[in-house]
Structure 1
Amino acid sequence: MADTTSTTAAAPLTTADGRSLKAALATAQSRAKRRALFLVLPLFLFIVITFILPIGQMLHRSVKNDGFSANMPAISAWFAENPAGTEPDEAAYAALAADLQAASAAKTIGVVGTRVNYDMPGTRSLFTSSARKSKDFVAPFKESLLAADAKWGDPALWGVMRQVSKTYSGNFFLAAVDLARDADGKIIRAPEDRRIYVSLFVRTFFMAGLITGICLLIAFPVAHLLATLPLRYSNLLMILVLLPFWTSLLVRTTSWIVLLQTQGVINNSLVAGGLLSEENRIQMIYNQTGTIIAMTHILLPFMILPLYSVMRPIPPSYVRAARSLGATSWTAFRRIYLPQTLPGIGAGALLVFILAVGYYITPALVGGASGQLISNLIAFHMQDSLNWSLAAALAAILLGAVLILYWLYDRLVGIDNLKLG
């Protein structure tokens, strides 16, 4: 009898069809995981195609530019075979002459000149003009090239050509932080008239922080009012908060131009009211002031909504209890109410700051020269100068700064406390 009981206790549990319960559970879990994978797969593919791949391509573009190496193979090979500091000999000039002639025939000399011009401005015309004369180059090629243009003997030019002869280079990241390389390859500061990127980054982050602070000061009382009003009134006011989302961004921005320009509505009203004289009209557009005002208006809802989402669930009885225990209004607000709104403050500040850092249309329309942000310069290099590698390097630095900000938020507030609505 004891042996039978022991055997029964040791027997594995089975399902109704005789299968092992452990195996049946494993099969069910595997089936559930596959079903979940198939459900998530479209979203995963969407993120990969529209987010990860473009960012990866951008990062790759920031270090790769084969405009010179692909079209000047002979001189690039000479640079690879001879160490830095080697004085160009007749073989180097012969390779250069052959490449100029081949690039001229292939109509790619403009690409070559443009690539060198990125690192040494003013050299594109040297390549194009010499390419037109390349059929007349004969040995000795050094004398022929120097006769065509004495700039071919400049050691700095050969140093730049050596640098750009590499398909992959970090020079665009150096240029993005106002640095450069000399003829020997050492990192130096860029010429003073070309140091524009660091100051523009500083201006971008300063203005984004200022806009975030202004939005917080305006949004906090508005969100508090929405959270404390009866629902029928708060829903009506919420429509006014959401109304800008139903209007085109371009329309909202151009409306501020009408309001803020020197002969605009605001200045005309101040002059008509006697607060300003005709000659003392305020310049509020095409400068930093115009950018700050317009972007604050556009980004304000992104601060109100997260704040409202955390203020609405806070019971009013908490503050009343603090007051009944002797706390002043300021103490009750500072120690009871404000700490409960920190997730909304952090989320709104993070959202507004990131949007402000990357804004392009509004600064382009109302910012003028002093109100431009780094995004406007990225767009310039993408659309006008066609220096896509420098644009990608600037964008990569901006992306890195935003990721650092996200990391700081996670450390200080905690991403689990993010409240967006």
Structure 2
Amino acid sequence: MSELKGSGQQTADAPTPEDAFHETATLDSREQTHAPGAAPDGPVLAADGTPLKRSLARALRMQKIRALALIAPLLIFVLLTFIAPIASMLFRSVENEIVSDTLPETVVVLNDWDSAGGAPLPESLFEAFYVDLFLAQEQKLHTRLGTRLNYEQTGMSSLFRKSGRQVGKFDTDKYTDQFTALDASWEDPASWVAMMDNKSNRTALPFTARSWDRWVAYLNTEGDDPAKEDIEDFLFTTLYLDLAKTGGKGASDARITAAGSAVGDFETVSLAEQFADAEKDWADPEIWRVIQTFSPKFTSGYYLNAIDMQKTPDGIEKRPENQQIYLMLFKRTMFMSLVITFSCIMLGYPVAWILANLPSRTANLLMILVLLPFWTSLLVRTSAWKVMLQQQGVINDTLVWLGLVADDARLVMINNQFGTIVAMTHILLPFMILPLYSVMQTIPPTYLRAAKSLGATNWTAFWRVYFPQSVPGIGAGSVLVFILAIGYYITPEIVGGNTGTFISNRIAFHISSSLNWGLGAALGTILLAVVMLLYWVYDKIVGIDNVKLG
């Protein structure tokens, strides 16, 4: 009998490769049993003559590699479809590179401009902005930049769009005419290519060299040859500005030296006046303060907007009261999600109890009714509730026919919070019933009979014996329903109106309509943080280990 028992234990607790590995290490240390042909004091050898310890280590390594290979497709799928989008959302919520990438020369000048001290706008600011805007409109980036800044200051979008159309018509062609009159070779693009390939020339003309590099990079993306394209007016403008400062000293090109001596007699153009004539708002320092404020590559502005604050040149401020909507939407989303979750518990618990206590054949037939909504489109189910809940809908018509409601006092049950709660409770109810049913099926009915035999009433037996065992199902269903509810946007959009929409509706609006992806990402990140916080609180109070699906 003891032999049988020992044999059974050996089968139940079969040794693993790790056990063999440790056992081999012990044998080596004690210099015990050796394989045939091994040295008297040497290590234990495998059949192929390899030390047993090394052979087992190799086997363990191969076993881990095979296990990793099996889960690799799932791991890659999760990384690509879950981790990567979340990481992208987190980055977009703080990313602000469009300003510095589109206006690099302007940002450098703005960093030295004392906007708080009331310093006047320097001419160099408009010179740098002229080059940046010319290149931006060639690449069609000025409209994107205007859209980004329009989130912070109304009117910026139209300002950049109009100025982009006019920047090519500025009077800077005067510089072009004067340089070509001085030396006709300045019109030859090939000579510019050769000039900008010389290091000493680039050192003597730093602004021109930077502008030339950006122009060549743009031409390359278009598939054009810089040696064959006409030299634009903005390059002659930068050439004049460089020569006016340095006189072309140190350049190896004789044309540069000659032009440096002649630019003192050139007719000049005030770019500040050119921009003011194009759009008078460019003379307003407040416009430039906005650009200066949002010139860093990373910003907290999106998160501030998401909590009804705003980043301004004067610091962080509250948004006007009529623009404070996001905190209210967050509160509404939390409240309505909790109400929907509670409604699903109240409606789903009795249904799950009935299913768990009916004979299997009957329970399976009724389970089909629970699963039936999954076979119907979400849009169809939501639209059906819109038809039923409207003032001329089925429910109101029935109430009027029964005489419970007057025909001229029909209930308003759509385009408000009530309609959203009703429709979403119906849609999410199966997600509460299924976990409850699976848990209740595991509760033996004999427990209730035993409690009643000991003198407990029906209510006491249920509350003290049955209900505590069903709590894990309530927890699982509640977590599932709440997380689904908090992120819903189709149903609130259709039946919610102005008072029944969720924060997810604003996120969808910014992602698909306004294209303010930064604000949409910030709202989504805050929503994710709130869900994680509530999950942590739930774990501390209830314990995630108590959540079961049967």
For normalisation by structure 2, the TM-score amounts to: 0.71
Query: For residue 177 of structure 1, what is the aligned residue in structure 2?
Result: 307
Instruction: Note if contact 2:414-2:496 (Cα within 8 Å) is conserved in structure 1.
Output: yes
**Residue in 1 that maps onto 2:170:** 136
- What are the residue-to-residue correspondences of 1:9-408 with 2, within 5 Å? 12-82=43-113, 85=116, 87=119, 88-134=121-167, 135-136=169-170, 139-184=269-314, 186-408=315-537
- Which structure 1 segments of 5+ residues have no match? 1-5
Which moved further from structure 2: 242-251 or 295-304?
242-251
The amino acid that maps onto 1:196 is I
| Distance in 2, Cα, partners of 1:239 & 1:148 | 69
- Structure 1 position 150, deviation (Å): 4.1
Equivalent residue number for residue 22 of structure 2? none
**What's the offset of the Cα at 1:8?**
5.3
What residue identity is the alignment partner of 2:401? A
| Partner SS state of residue 28, structure 1 | helix
Distance across 2 between alignment mates of 1:31 and 1:347: 38
Is the CA contact 2:293–2:312 (under 8 Å) kept in the aligned structure 1? no
Give the secondary-structure state (helix, strand or coil) at the position aligned to 2:100. coil
Which deviations, in whole Å up to 9, do the C-alpha atoms of 1:310-368 show, x marking residues without a partner? 11111122222223333333333333222212211111111101100111211111111
Q: Is the 8 A contact 2:31 2:43 kept in 1?
A: no
Per mean C-alpha deviation after superposition, the further-off stretch among 402-411 and 272-281 is 402-411
CA distance in 2 between counterparts of 1:332 and 1:372 reads 42
Cα distance change on mapping 1:123 and 1:298 into 2, 3 Å: same
Q: Whole-Å Cα distance in 1 between the matches of residues 473 and 32 of structure 2?
A: 60
- Give the deviation of 1:52 after TM superposition: 0.9
CA pair 230-78 structure 1, distance change in 2 beyond 3 A = same
Q: Which moved more, 1:398-407 or 1:288-297?
A: 398-407
> Whole-Å Cα distance in 1 between the matches of residues 297 and 112 of structure 2?
15
Q: 1:363 to 1:102 in 2, by over 3 A?
A: same
Identify the range of structure 1 (191-200 vs 132-141) with the bigger mean alpha-carbon deviation: 132-141
What secondary structure, in the 3-state scheme, does the structure 2 residue paired with 1:169 have?
Answer: coil
The change in CA–CA distance for 1:67 and 1:17 in structure 2 (over 3 A counts) is closer
Between stretches 316-325 and 382-391, larger displacement belongs to 316-325
Question: Matches of 2:305 and 2:389 in 1, distance apart?
Answer: 36
Name the amino acid aligned to 1:205: M
Higher deviation after alignment, 371-380 or 90-99: 90-99
Aligned to 2:542: 413
Q: Deviations over 1:80-112 (max 9, x none)?
A: 344663633222233233333333343332112
Name the SS of the counterpart of 1:67 in structure 2. Answer: helix
SS in 2 for 1:188: strand
RMSD over equivalenced CA pairs, Å: 2.2
Q: Give a deviation string over 1:36-66, Cα, whole Å, max 9, x none.
A: 1111001001101111111111111111133
Of residues 201-210 and 332-341 in structure 1, the stretch that sits farther from structure 2 once superposed is 332-341
| Contact persistence 1:115–1:164 (CA under 8 A) | no
Matched residues, percent identical?
52
Residues 1:239 and 1:7: Cα distance change in structure 2 (over 3 Å): closer
Number of residue pairs matched by the alignment: 415
Return 248-257 or 150-159, whichever deviates more: 150-159
Runs of at least 4 residues of structure 1 off by over 6 A? Answer: none
Q: 1:136 to 1:309 in 2, by over 3 A?
A: same
Maintained 8 Å contact 1:109/1:131: yes
CA drift of 1:206 comes to 0.9
Could you say which structure has the greater relative contact order, defined with CA pairs below 8 angstroms and 6 or more residues apart? 1
SS of the residue aligned with 1:262?
A: coil
Q: Report how far residue 401 of structure 1 moved.
A: 1.4
By how many angstroms is 1:156 displaced? 3.4
Letter in 2 for 1:110: T
CA distance 1:84–1:309, shift in 2 (3 Å): farther
In structure 1, how many angstroms separate the alpha carbons of the residues matched to 2:59 and 2:137?
68
* Residues 135-144 or 164-173, more deviating: 135-144
Answer with 151-160 or 270-279: which moved more.
151-160
Q: 1:30 deviation in Å? A: 1.6
* Partner amino acid, structure 1, of 2:146: G
Distance in 2, Cα, partners of 1:325 & 1:83: 85
For residue 177 of structure 1, report the CA deviation from its aligned partner. Answer: 0.9
| Whole-angstrom distance in 2 between the partners of 1:73 and 1:365 | 45
Say whether the 8 Å CA contact 1:158–1:183 is kept in structure 2.
Answer: no
Q: C-alpha distance in 2, partners of 1:309/1:190?
A: 49
SS in 2 for 1:133: helix
Give the match's secondary structure for 1:180: strand
Q: CA deviation at 1:200?
A: 0.7
**Cα displacement (A) at 1:144:** 4.0
- Contact kept, 8 Å, 1:64 with 1:389, in 2: the verdict is yes
Deviates more, 1:151-160 or 1:105-114: 151-160
Equivalent position amino acid for 1:123 in 2:
M
For 1:181, what is the secondary structure of its paired residue?
Answer: strand
Which segments of 5 or more consecutive residues in structure 2 lack a partner in the other structure? Answer: 1-29, 34-40, 173-268
Structure 1 Cα separation of the partners of residues 114 and 530 of structure 2: 36
Change in Cα spacing, 1:7 to 1:108, as seen in structure 2 (3 Å) is closer
With 121-130 and 340-349 compared, the bigger mean Cα shift is at 121-130
Per the TM alignment, residue 145 of structure 1 is displaced from its structure 2 partner at its CA by 3.4
Pair 343,155 (structure 1): closer, same or farther in 2 beyond 3 Å: farther
Structure-1 separation of matches of 2:275 and 2:49: 90
Are residues 317 and 111 of structure 1, via their aligned partners in 2, closer, same or farther at CA, if it must alter by over 3 Å? same
Please tell me whether Structure 1 or Structure 2 has the larger radius of gyration of its CA atoms: 2
